[in-house]
Every structure is written in structure tokens, then in C-alpha cells.
Chains A and B, each alone.
Chain A
Amino acid sequence: MKWLRRWQGLLSQKPLRLAFLGLVISFLVSFPFWASRYWVDVGFYVGLYALLGLGLNIILGEVGLFNLGHAAFWAIGAYTTAILNVRFGIPTLALLPISAVVAAGCAWLVSSPIIHLRGDYLCIVTIALGEIVRLVLINNPGGLTGGPNGVVGIARPVFLGHVIRTPMDFYFLVWAVVILCAIGLRQLQRSRLGRAWNYIREDEIAAEAMGVDVRALKLLAFVVGAALAGLAGNIFAAKMRMVSPDSFTFMESCLMFCIVLLGGMGSIPGTILGAALVVLFPEIFRPVAQYRLLFFGLALAATMYFRPGGLWPRRRTAEILVGQTER
């Protein structure tokens, strides 16, 4: 595994990093033009799970809050899109930010009372949260969610007069959102806020003693993470053209958890890599049919055994802050 570390070391050099980034971007852009429709669809799901993983990465990776109910926010985003589009005819793409805002609002509402819980206790409550949201959706409150049948007939998104319908269109939609979010999160990581989050993760008491508003920042992490899940929910609903409670099971929350752990806590490229693995593993093991989840589990266990810090852990570098006066 030394080569991986060396590889990461190489990437810290700016020209090499830019070259690598260019390579990745050109691969992402050219991919749908030479890959089959099936692989383009797989690429779409990698993007979708990367978005979900990035959201959870803020909560789990940056702040270290165990959240095993992230699928709930995904579901809220998807149902917001579905209900507002089907009932009120609001264009699906216009609902992209609205879904994020609604998911973020719900996250603020439900996590305010539980945010003081620590470690496994928070984990248990978030599991319950995920289940509660799913059960509420099944029970069809006010005839809005359609119960177990879900909501169907979501309109296709239209971008500048172009109807987004083929796997390629969706591929570009989701990856555009992922890349924009990744850039934003990268800026956030290097900001005062990002450092405060990491501080809380490493030592909450010390952070509080230094004047960091732990409660508000933890809440903010939940809100931002849920907003990203809301975005993913919107895109998922648009792609499926229907939503139903069985898409947002506990298993999905676990998968997102795996993505962040596999990739490396707090690492943006790691999370995207983790999403790729979590989506690709079951697809690669398709030929072994009923054993594919077994192989999937084995692969996860092996990865965690050989690289406990994740595949692409965030490198701890001393960030040199150049103050105004020194310039």
C-alpha cells in the first residue's frame, strides 16, 4: 500500500495535481461517448451515490457524527420533488434547489433535539429517524405520499429547452452537480468553518473551550449534508420518474456509511472513489448472481482490513496561512 501513499504525495505537487485533475475530468466528460448505455447508467449511479456520500461525509467525515439515517434526507428530497411536481406542476429542475432547502429544513428540525447526543447514542437515534421517515411515507399522511405505491408520473427535467431523458443526459446532470458540490466543499474544508468542524471531531471539549459553538456547527453540518442528499433526491426522482418508500431503506443508509468509511473520512476524492466502488462491486459481481452480496461484503471487509483509514484518506497537511501583513 506504500504506492498509494507515494501517489498521494505526488499529487500534492501542484502541476501534477492539475494534470491528474485534467485527466479525471476528461475521462468523466468523454466516458458516455464511448461507453455503452448500461455503463453510462452505472456512471450515473456512481455520481448519485457520490453526491449522497459527499453529504454524509460532512456529517460523518468532517464532524465525526455517526449518522445511519442519511437515506431519510434523500427520501425527503425525492418526495419534495415528486409531490410538488405532480401536484403543482412545478418544473422538476426548478425543484432542485427547493428539494435541497426542504431537506435541509427538515434536517434542522429533526436534528435540533438530538444534536447533543454523542457517538453510538446519536447513531441509534438516526437509525430510528431513517425508519420513521420511511414509515411515515408508507402511511400516506394527508394522501400526499401515496403510501407504499409512492408517487408516479414525475415530469422529465428540461434544461434550456433540452429534455433530460437519456442515460447520457442524466449522467451529465448528476456529475455537473457533483463537481460543483465538490468544489464548494473543498473551499469549505479550507475555511474557518471546515477547521472548526475538524476540531470538533478531534476533541469536542477542547473545541468548546476555544470558543467554537459546537452545537450550532454540528447542526450546520447536518443541514448542509441533508441539503446535498436533497439534491440527490431530486435527481433520483427525475431519473426514476417515480418515488416509493422501498428505495429509501436502512440498507441505503448503510451503503452511504460504507462509502464514507471506504473512501476515507473527510476526504472528497475518497468519497467519490468510495461511491464508485460501492456501485461497481455489485455490478462487477453480477455473473455470480446470488453470491454477489457475499462478494460485496468480502470486498468491503478486505478493504477495511488492508486500509483501515480508507482508500484515499485525507492527508493532514499543515495549512500555511499567509496573513495580510506578511505579504
Chain B
Amino acid sequence: MKWIIGLSVVLALCGWAQPILVGFQGPLTGPWAVEGDWALKSVQIAVEIVNARGGILGRPVQLVVEDDGGTPKGGTLAAQKLIAAGVKFVVGTYGSMVCMPSSELYEEEGVVHINYGCTRVDLSARGFKYYFRTSGRDDSQARFFVEYVIPLFGAKRIAVMHDNTAYALGVAEDVLRFMKPLLDEGKVELVYYDAIMPGERDYTPALTALRDAKPDIWYYTGYYPEWALLLRQGKDLGLDWKKIKAVGSNACPISEAVKIAGLDAVVGAMITQEPLPAFLVEKYPLAKEFVEAYEAKYGPIHDSPWATYAADAIFTLAFAIEATRSLDPAVVAKYLRSGQVIGEGITGPLSFSPEGDRLGVPYMLLICTEEGKSALFDPAVHGHLVGM
């Protein structure tokens, strides 16, 4: 019996010493090199955190990094390189068009592929078994507005305004799509749905129409220059931004709007935004740990939601492998698809739909405080700004 114990000790030691290879594919060169750099640094910090906690199944994680240059061609080469290196779990990449051909290779080889910066809706509609994403989709923002923001304020009369650009129109159409069941049941009413012309100086006619529609909440899906003007001219026209909750899209940074419209017009206005690490620290302990480790090593934290999602991809793998106690990609992928919450990452609870989409809505609502800063909306703290 002694030799069996001896052998198992040796095997266990070998197993312990052997690192688990995790691939990282990202645009380290090319037009998106900054995003790639942030993502790589974030992933490295996440790996350090995982290893400091004893690794996965007691084994350390080792990153295998490949650059895809932000092109579809580079993506396939990087994917082949990672597959040839024997990697069974990959985090990557940024850009839906880069992701698409690479993810086919991973799928064929049975490599768990967790995306962090690709939001195209149809990426998850291909019936893949090994494809996941920690980020949202192009329609997540609209969904967040309908499923979180509207009930939060108990809004009944909804106004949606866009500017006919592809992006703004897309968000507005998605809002309508997600709102359809509510509209059909008569729970909410669409009192205003129209477009403005971007680049104009005077939006009084549109604002008059908006005022006459008497909405509870007004969602502007376009960009910040028009949003700021609308807020300013609306206030001058006597629209009460406490009665009508003004919500802008993620293309409306609050700091820019304050610069254009002045603080008095923007205070209390809100925007829907992907989770930025600076706001996540208040909410999730892991985010705090991550940001502290990042800042200690690389200086001030980036404000890229995508790089944050990349770090969360590492935690997703760590949680899933620990839970299944298996390094078999098929087992891990099956577990991830189950839809249950596998753990709390930097951007909140991690769970995935059977298609591989991130469940729950990884978005947040930011509000312009009295000091003109953006803050995570908290009804208890900021309720008075929006008349709650």
C-alpha cells in the first residue's frame, strides 16, 4: 500500500506544480491597442488574485498571451496559436468581427471561449457550445432601461427620443422591442417616440412636444452634445426634470453635458452606462480588491468596462472549474450554461444563458450629483434630486 500512497503524493505534487494554461487573445497592436493593453493588464491582475488565493484546484494559473492585432485574420492566427499551445480555456477578444472567425476555431476544437468586448447580438445565436461572454450585448442597454430603470421609478408614461444615427436608432428600437410586452399589457404607455436632427441649435419644438406628452421618464438614446442642449433648453422652457426623469444613453458622459449645459440643467439627470471599475468598488468586494491591486501595480485604474469584463472572464473560469472540479472544457461549458449564479465577480453575479450570454444586466445607472460629478444612482442618497 505504501507505494500507492507514495505515488499519489508524487502525482498530487506534479498536479500541483503543473500550471493551468489560460489563453488571452486581444488587440495588443493595431487601432485598439489601448483596449488590448488594459484588458491584458486587468487579466494579469485577475490571475494574480486567483493565484494568491491558491490557484484553481490548487494549481496556479498561467497566461498564454496572443496578439490578434484587432483584425479578423489576426484573430484566426492567434486562435490557432493558442490551440496549438494546448490551451483549453481562452479569454478574448475585443471587437465582434475579430471574435467571429476565432470563436469558430475554438468551438471546433472544444475550447471554452469567454468573450469580453464583443457585443454583437448574433454572436450568441450560432448555437455554439463553448462560447460565452461576460459583457452585455448591443441591446443590453435598452433592456436595462426597460427592465430596471422604468420599474425603479414606477414610470407609466414613457418618452423615447433618438437622433436617427445608426447607434441611437438601434437603442431606441431595442427599447421598443423590450417594452412591447409591457405596452401590450397596458402597464406602460409610449407617449412620445420621435427623432431630432443632430447638430441643430434650437430644440424648442421637440421639447414643446415632449412637454405636451407629459411623460414620467424621457430616454434620450443619442449623443451628449444634443442631450446637453435639450436639458438646457428644456429647463429654460420650464420642463421640470424632477417630474420628468431625464435619462441619457452611454454616449452622454455627464461631465461633458455639465460643461455644455451648465450644472443647474444637468443636476439630477441620469445615464445608463456599462459598469466602470471606479463605481463597482462600492458595490462588490472583489472589485475593490481588483482595483487596489491594479492601481498598486499600474497606476490609476482605466475606465474601460471591457477590460473589467476581461478580468471577470478569469474569475468565471476560476469559479466554474472549482465548482465542477474538472478541467474538461465540455464539463465546464455545460456547467456555465446552466444559468445558475456561479459566483460574484467584479461586475456582479456571474451567470450565463444557454446561448452563452451574460445573464442579469451588467449595466448601471449614473446620476449627476449637486457637485456635477457622476455617481452610482442610489435612491436613498440621490432620491431627492429626481423627486423620489
User: A: which residues have CB within 8 A of B?
Assistant: 36-38, 41-42, 45, 147, 149-150, 152, 165, 167, 239-242, 244, 246-247, 282-283, 286, 289-290, 292-293
CB-defined contacts of A242 to chain B, threshold 8 Å: 72, 97, 100-101
| Contact A45 B73, beta carbon cutoff 8 Å | yes
CB-defined contacts of A240 to chain B, threshold 8 Å: 72-73, 76, 100-101
B66 shortest CB reach to chain A, Å: 8
A241 vs B122: C-alpha distance when bound (angstroms) = 14
A36 vs B77: C-alpha distance when bound (angstroms) = 12
**B67 on the A face (CB < 8 A):** yes
**B166 on the A face (CB < 8 A):** yes
**B353 on the A face (CB < 8 A):** no
CB-defined contacts of B83 to chain A, threshold 8 Å: 37-38
Number of A-B contacts (CB under 8 A): 63
A61 shortest CB reach to chain B, Å: 24
| Contact A293 B96, beta carbon cutoff 8 Å | no
| Contact B29 A41, beta carbon cutoff 8 Å | no
A167 vs B79: C-alpha distance when bound (angstroms) = 12
* Cβ-neighbour of A292 out of B29, B71, B97, B122 (below 8 A): B29
Supplied contacts A37-B84, A41-B80, A292-B67, 13 more A-B pairs, CB within 8 Å: A38-B81, A41-B77, A240-B76, A242-B101, A244-B97, A246-B72, A247-B72, A247-B73, A282-B69, A289-B28, A289-B29, A289-B67, A292-B29
Interface size class of B (residues with CB under 8 A): 20 to 34
**B242 on the A face (CB < 8 A):** no
Q: B36: nearest residue on chain A (CB-CB)?
A: A290
| Contact A246 B104, beta carbon cutoff 8 Å | no
| Contact A247 B71, beta carbon cutoff 8 Å | yes
A61 vs B214: C-alpha distance when bound (angstroms) = 69
A246 vs B97: C-alpha distance when bound (angstroms) = 8
A152 vs B72: C-alpha distance when bound (angstroms) = 12
Q: Mark B28-41, 1 if CB is under 8 A from A, else 0.
A: 11000100000000
A126 vs B61: C-alpha distance when bound (angstroms) = 50
| Contact A246 B81, beta carbon cutoff 8 Å | no
CB-defined contacts of B104 to chain A, threshold 8 Å: 241
| 15 A/B residue pairs, CB under 8 Å, sorted by A | A36-B84, A38-B80, A38-B83, A147-B166, A149-B97, A165-B108, A241-B104, A242-B72, A242-B97, A242-B101, A246-B71, A247-B71, A247-B73, A247-B97, A289-B65
A42 vs B74: C-alpha distance when bound (angstroms) = 10
Q: A36: nearest residue on chain B (CB-CB)?
A: B84
A147 vs B77: C-alpha distance when bound (angstroms) = 25
**B382 on the A face (CB < 8 A):** no
| Contact A149 B96, beta carbon cutoff 8 Å | yes
A176 shortest CB reach to chain B, Å: 20
| Contact A290 B122, beta carbon cutoff 8 Å | no
| Contact B77 A38, beta carbon cutoff 8 Å | yes
Considering the complex, which residues of chain B in the window 158-193 have a beta carbon less than 8 Å from any beta carbon of chain A? 166
Q: B121: nearest residue on chain A (CB-CB)?
A: A149
Q: A246: nearest residue on chain B (CB-CB)?
A: B97
CB-defined contacts of A167 to chain B, threshold 8 Å: 80
Q: Interface residues of B: mostly helix, strand, loop or mixed?
A: helix
Given contacts A246-B71, A247-B71, A290-B28, contact A150 B80 (CB under 8 A): no
CB-defined contacts of B97 to chain A, threshold 8 Å: 149-150, 242, 244, 246-247
A149 shortest CB reach to chain B, Å: 7
**B120 on the A face (CB < 8 A):** yes
User: B: which residues have CB within 8 A of A?
Assistant: 28-29, 33, 65-67, 69-73, 76-77, 80-81, 83-84, 96-97, 100-101, 104, 108, 120, 122, 166
A240 vs B77: C-alpha distance when bound (angstroms) = 11
CB-defined contacts of B100 to chain A, threshold 8 Å: 152, 240-242
A155 shortest CB reach to chain B, Å: 13
A317 vs B46: C-alpha distance when bound (angstroms) = 64
CB-defined contacts of B101 to chain A, threshold 8 Å: 239-242
A252 shortest CB reach to chain B, Å: 9
Given contacts A36-B84, A152-B122, A242-B97, contact A283 B28 (CB under 8 A): no
Q: B31: nearest residue on chain A (CB-CB)?
A: A246
B68 shortest CB reach to chain A, Å: 11
Q: B85: nearest residue on chain A (CB-CB)?
A: A38
CB-defined contacts of B81 to chain A, threshold 8 Å: 38, 286
A41 vs B109: C-alpha distance when bound (angstroms) = 15
A107 shortest CB reach to chain B, Å: 23
A146 vs B71: C-alpha distance when bound (angstroms) = 18
A318 vs B120: C-alpha distance when bound (angstroms) = 59
Q: A283: nearest residue on chain B (CB-CB)?
A: B77
A282 vs B76: C-alpha distance when bound (angstroms) = 14
A18 vs B104: C-alpha distance when bound (angstroms) = 41
Closest 7 CB pairs of A and B: A38-B80, A244-B97, A38-B84, A41-B80, A240-B101, A36-B84, A38-B81
CB-defined contacts of B72 to chain A, threshold 8 Å: 240, 242, 244, 246-247
A250 shortest CB reach to chain B, Å: 12
A37 vs B72: C-alpha distance when bound (angstroms) = 17
| Contact A42 B73, beta carbon cutoff 8 Å | no
CB-defined contacts of A165 to chain B, threshold 8 Å: 108
Q: A139: nearest residue on chain B (CB-CB)?
A: B166
A37 vs B111: C-alpha distance when bound (angstroms) = 15
| Contact A42 B28, beta carbon cutoff 8 Å | no
Q: A41: nearest residue on chain B (CB-CB)?
A: B80
CB-defined contacts of B29 to chain A, threshold 8 Å: 289-290, 292-293
CB-defined contacts of A282 to chain B, threshold 8 Å: 69
A35 vs B291: C-alpha distance when bound (angstroms) = 43
A147 vs B101: C-alpha distance when bound (angstroms) = 18
Q: B33: nearest residue on chain A (CB-CB)?
A: A290
A293 vs B80: C-alpha distance when bound (angstroms) = 20
CB-defined contacts of B71 to chain A, threshold 8 Å: 246-247
A292 vs B28: C-alpha distance when bound (angstroms) = 10
CB-defined contacts of B84 to chain A, threshold 8 Å: 36-38
A41 vs B78: C-alpha distance when bound (angstroms) = 10
* Cβ-neighbour of A37 out of B66, B67, B80, B166 (below 8 A): B80
CB-defined contacts of A241 to chain B, threshold 8 Å: 100-101, 104
| Contact A286 B67, beta carbon cutoff 8 Å | yes
Q: B70: nearest residue on chain A (CB-CB)?
A: A246
Q: A49: nearest residue on chain B (CB-CB)?
A: B73
CB-defined contacts of A289 to chain B, threshold 8 Å: 28-29, 65, 67
CB-defined contacts of B70 to chain A, threshold 8 Å: 246
